[in-house]
Amino acid sequence: MNKVVALTGNEAAAEAMRQINPDVVAAYPITPQTELMHKFSDFVADAVVKTEMILVESEHSAMSACIGACAAGARVMTATSANGLAFMWEVVYIAASLRLPIVMTVVNRALSGPINIHCDHSDTMGCRDSGWIQLYGENPQEAYDNIIQAIRIAEHPDVRLPVMPTFDGFIISHTLERLEILSDEEVGKFIGAWKPVHPLLDIAHPVTYGPLDLQDYYFEHKKGQAEAMKRAKGVVLAVGKEYGALSGREYGFFEEYKTRDAEQIILCLGSASGTVKSVVDGLREKGRRTGVLKLRMFRPFPAEEILSAIGHAKSIAVLDRAEGFSGLGGPLFPEVRSALYGRSDAKVINYVYGLGGRDLSPEMILSVFDDLEEGRITDREAVHLGVRI
């Protein structure tokens, strides 16, 4: 039974965590994730959750403690942003390679330097190859929904990989919006009890985690991880469908907004898609066949499904909220173009936007659709939207 509430993105995420009621949470403060953990600390202080909270001395230790706790047999969560995620980078990889179903919310923020506390995706894009499943949310509703589904996806026996639900710093984390939440009982039933696999605390069955893995086995273990990531696709869909039946909000790899007959399509992640949708609505009224594909799941990358969804377009703009410093633009672009390569006639171009929290205005999006329709962008270099140089 959905209940309508007004919460910021951070509050919605904290509410999801309260309902999940994890055994252990380890966290370290970083803006804009801080409020999420303030709220959750209130739940711990009031004993409305059973969680043992570890207030560590760094993000590196936050993820290290999550790894220890999860291997020990606990259901474990944390949250971070930007430099915090960068600081834990080493152990982010280790969590995935140990196949520990940790759920870590990342409130997207620009990576230093220069230091900046506002939104872009340079933090989560930085660990795109870490072996974590990544789910990007558009608004507080999706922040809430993704976190609950993340538990099910991570712990699924075919997957057993950590999941990173994300949403945009300040734009979503600090914005109060209307959303619908499930009852505690519904969430509890949906996620079910966590049955740890080979927990360290099972003294009668001692296991060794994290051994030295050399030329003779490392490769096989990495392949196993890659296979699990592929299997995650089916699980993400199944969990999204089941969640839809429960909440009325079904989730897949992406949201197709007016794309079916669209000639010009924008593909983007996170909060920007809301703005793009409203521009598409305006253009549709004028008879322009535009649409937006809001990618929810960046890891694993749903290449085939993206091809099916937007391969028919005449032109596609990929909006990256991170600079890849490759000379080719952002990190999302090459993956989308690879998905379409040789199998679609669509012209695919790249825009980098919104770095360090720079606003993405409807006028900018309009200019992108104009570029697409008029074929103005002919070279392969990314366009940086709204930058003064």
By CB under 8 A, residue 211 contacts other proteins? yes
By CB under 8 A, residue 37 contacts other proteins? no
10 Å CB burial of residue 117 (0-12, 13-18, 19+) is middle
Contacts of 128 (CB under 8 A, 6+ apart): 134, 298, 299, 331
Round to whole Å and give the CA distance between 167 and 154: 18
**Among the listed residues 61, 246, 287, 249, the one whose alpha carbon sits nearest the alpha carbon of residue 143:** 249
Candidates 115, 207, 226, 387: give the one binding other proteins (CB under 8 A): 207
By CB under 8 A, residue 213 contacts other proteins? yes
By CB under 8 A, residue 219 contacts other proteins? no
By CB under 8 A, residue 200 contacts other proteins? yes
Closest to other proteins by CB, 212 or 245:
212
Candidates 210, 224, 234, 375: give the one binding other proteins (CB under 8 A): 210
Closest to other proteins by CB, 64 or 350:
64
CA contacts within 13 A on the Cβ side of 350: 23
Stretch of residues binding other proteins (CB under 8 A), selected from 20-28, 171-179, 239-247, 352-360: 20-28
By CB under 8 A, residue 209 contacts other proteins? yes
CB 149 within 8 A of CB 243: yes
Contacts of 235 (CB under 8 A, 6+ apart): 152, 153, 156, 158, 159
Closest to other proteins by CB, 46 or 261:
46
Beta strands in 247-342 (DSSP E): 254-257, 264-269, 290-295, 297-299, 315-320
Candidates 16, 17, 69, 148: give the one binding other proteins (CB under 8 A): 69
Structure tokens at 339: 């998905």
Contacts of 109 (CB under 8 A, 6+ apart): 30, 31, 32, 81, 82, 116, 117, 118, 119, 120, 123, 169
- DSSP lists the bridge partners of residue 264 as 290, 315
CB of 89 to other proteins, least distance (A): 11
Structure tokens at 72: 């020990």
Contacts of 98 (CB under 8 A, 6+ apart): 67, 71, 209, 210
Candidates 2, 34, 41, 61: give the one binding other proteins (CB under 8 A): 61
CB 329 within 8 A of CB 297: no
By CB under 8 A, residue 56 contacts other proteins? yes
CB of 309 to other proteins, least distance (A): 40
Candidates 12, 16, 26, 280: give the one binding other proteins (CB under 8 A): 26
CB of 329 to other proteins, least distance (A): 33
Hey, CA dihedral for 286, 288, 292, 293, is it positive or negative?
positive
By CB under 8 A, residue 64 contacts other proteins? yes
By CB under 8 A, residue 203 contacts other proteins? yes
By CB under 8 A, residue 4 contacts other proteins? no
Candidates 17, 36, 70, 317: give the one binding other proteins (CB under 8 A): 70
Candidates 7, 20, 71, 125: give the one binding other proteins (CB under 8 A): 71
What SS3 state is found at 134? strand
By CB under 8 A, residue 67 contacts other proteins? yes
CB of 48 to other proteins, least distance (A): 14
By CB under 8 A, residue 329 contacts other proteins? no
CB 85 within 8 A of CB 124: yes
Number of residues counted as binding other proteins (CB under 8 A): 42
By CB under 8 A, residue 192 contacts other proteins? no
By CB under 8 A, residue 328 contacts other proteins? no
Site for other proteins, rule CB under 8 A: 23-24, 26, 50-52, 54-58, 60-61, 64-74, 76, 90-91, 94, 200-203, 206-214, 217
